Amino acid sequence: MTNARRPPPMPNEVVISFSWILSYLRKARIRLGIAAILGLIVGLILYFLTPKMYEANFIIKMPSANAISSLGEIEKHIIKPVPTALDAKKLLLKPENFSKETLKSCGLNDTNGERKQLVGYITSHIVNYESSLQIIVRLPGNEIVRNCADAILRNITQFANFQKDQYVQYAQLASSNASLMLVNENAFLTSPIRVSDKIVSPRFWHLIAGCILIGLILMCLIDWLHIQFKDASLRS
């Protein structure tokens, strides 16, 4: 049985090996250096033109009350969040739910475009089995992101407490054992709002390194396409 062997390369075929890579880097060092410098310049321009984002982070504990059975009776041994963190999260995904005061606190105007921007500035995560909602706000400016976080906290708290009060009122009217509603707890902040001391985005060295790397990759791609085009021309 004969061993399959790789056919010898064509006279003009490029065989990529470690020695070929070293040879390429040596020959293309000037072009690669220029590409790295251009990437550095682009990175610096992007850094100084991009708004400097700060971050506010806090967790809201949802209101809680006794559950209601399928028969409409209050179950004193079962406690549940009312509303759930998922319901509060949905509130933050709808631009029309933000008040004019909240938009103003976040440094935005009452327009459809800037309402959608605010939705993009907010990230929320459901924690503690839907009983709590973690909210992260990113905005340009340390003071403005704190004011915005305060306004969003008020919005969520008012919404959640209203929903809970409606639930409790319904339970007390529907149940024959209304006195068993032992838990009636409003929403509250589990810890103070934390605001970053430093810029969280863009990160200077990450941006610079990324732009330099992209510049080098683009230059290598251009050289590779040039080699392929040259080889194709010679073969034809």
**Residue 132 CB coordination number (10 Å):** 18
Average pLDDT over residues 207-212: 94
The pLDDT tens digits of the residues spanning 37-66 come to 999 999 999 999 989 999 999 999 999 988
pLDDT: is 187 or 226 the higher one?
Answer: 187
Handedness of CA 117, 122, 126, 132 (dihedral sign): negative
205 burial (CB, 10 Å; 0-12 / 13-18 / 19+) is: exposed
- Average model confidence (pLDDT) for the chain? 87
pLDDT computed for residue 123 by the predictor: 95
Dihedral (CA of 38, 41, 43, 45) sign: negative
The reply to whether 166 and 216 lie within a common domain is no
Query: Cα–Cα distances in Å, from 174 out to 1, 74, 133, 210?
Result: 87, 9, 29, 61
Global pTM? 0.74
Q: What is the pLDDT of residue 14?
A: 55
Helix (H) or strand (E) holding 56: strand 53-61
CATH code at position 135: 3.30.70
Binned at pLDDT 50, 70 and 90, residue 23 comes out as confident
- The token duo for 3 is 């061993």
Same domain, 93 and 176: yes
Q: How confident is the model at residue 171 (pLDDT cuts 50, 70, 90)?
A: confident
Euclidean distance between CA atoms 83 and 92, whole angstroms = 14
**CB-based contact 76:66 (threshold 8 Å):** yes
pLDDT of 181 higher than 80: no
pLDDT tens per residue across span 60-114: 999 998 888 877 778 888 889 999 999 999 999 999 999 899 999 999 999 999 9
Give the residue from 167, 108, 131, 111 showing the smallest Cα distance to 122.
108
Mean pLDDT (whole number) for 196-223 = 92
Both 137 and 225 in one domain: the answer is: no
Report the alpha-carbon distance of residue 150 to residue 172 in Å, rounded: 33
Residue 182 has pLDDT above 80, yes or no: no
Q: How many CA atoms lie within 13 A of 13 on its CB side?
A: 7
What span, in angstroms and rounded, lies between the C-alpha atoms of 94 and 115? 9
DSSP 2: P
Residue 149 lies in a domain: yes
Apex 154 CA angle, 148 and 156, nearest 5: 100
pLDDT band at 28 (very low <50, low <70, confident <90, very high): confident
The label of the residue with tokens 């003009």 reads 12
Is 121 in the same domain as 150? yes
Is 178 part of a structural domain of the chain? Answer: yes
Q: Which tokens is 58 given? A: 């806090």
Number of residues that make up the chain: 236
In percent, the amount of the chain with pLDDT more than 70 equals: 90
Q: Report residue 130's pLDDT band, with 50, 70 and 90 as the boundaries.
A: confident
- Total domains in the fold of the chain: 2
Structural domain boundaries enclosing 82: 53-195
Q: How confident is the model at residue 13 (pLDDT cuts 50, 70, 90)?
A: low
The answer to whether the CB of 156 falls within 8 A of the CB of 135 is yes
In a domain, 232, yes or no: yes
Same domain as 145, residue 80: yes
One domain for residues 59 and 107: yes
Q: Assign 117 a pLDDT band (cuts: 50, 70, 90).
A: very high
Give 134-170 pLDDT, tens digit per residue: 999 999 989 999 999 999 999 999 999 999 999 888 8
Specify if 139 maps to a domain. yes
Provide the pLDDT for residue 30: 92
Check: CB of residue 69 under 8 Å from CB of residue 234: no
Residue 155 within any structural domain of the chain: yes
